[in-house]
Amino acid sequence: MKTLVLGLGNTILCDDGVGIRIAQEIKKKCKNIDILEAGAAGFRVIDEIIGYEKLILIDSIKTGNAKPGTLHKYSFDDFKTKHHSQPHDISLFEAFEIIKKHGDELPTEIEIYAVEVSDTETLSEKCTPEVEAAIPKITKKIIEEQKIN
């Protein structure tokens, strides 16, 4: 199955870059996987996703309901009814719906992982200690769950 790991975030905004950092760690451990790093989703990454059968998306999330470094797992359906658009862009989920109507080949299997974070505003190339400490465990868990090699 042709699989793409999409790491989202901004690596100079502390914990916001955790999705990209985990994608980079997966690439170090799994040579036969395609990785894409992006600062935002939406139409900007659709061209890169077309043709893959499976998409593993990794991002940060701030729910306030879990400790920083906690891994959440969602399905694509969890986001279908929610609108996350920015004023000048659309979300990846909204872009998928538009593209599907036009028949382009998008992944049929989508796994979404989000790491609970605490600081997404401080200018820092490092994550907070709690999030940084969780990266190796989360990387291992995603590799094992997704059977990536």
Looking at residues 69-93, what average pLDDT do you find? 68
Beta-bridged to residue 37, according to DSSP, are 7
Euclidean distance between CA atoms 147 and 74, whole angstroms: 18
Q: Starting from the edge strand earliest in sequence, which strands make up the sheet with 71-75, in order?
A: 34-38, 3-8, 54-61, 109-116, 71-75
Write down the mean pLDDT value for the chain. Answer: 86
- Count Cα neighbours of 112 within 13 Å in the Cβ-side half-sphere: 14
Instruction: Quickly count: other Cβ atoms within 10 Å of residue 107's Cβ.
Output: 22
State which CATH number among 3.40.718.10, 3.50.50.60, 3.40.50.1450, 3.40.250.10 fits the domain covering 3-146.
3.40.50.1450
SS (H, E, C) the chain: CCEEEEEECCCCEHHHHHHHHHHHHHHHHCCCCEEEEECCCCHHHHHHHCCCCEEEEEEEECCCCCCCCCEEEEECHHHHCCCCCECCECCHHHHHHHHHHCCCCCCCEEEEEEEECCCCCCCECCCCHHHHHHHHHHHHHHHHHHCCC
Give helix 18-29 / helix 129-146 axis angle, nearest 10°: 50
The pLDDT value given to residue 100: 66
Euclidean distance between CA atoms 83 and 85, whole angstroms: 6
Residue 149 has pLDDT above 70, yes or no: yes
Residue 77 has pLDDT above 70, yes or no: yes
- What is the pTM assigned to this prediction? 0.86
The pLDDT value given to residue 137: 98
The pLDDT value given to residue 91: 64
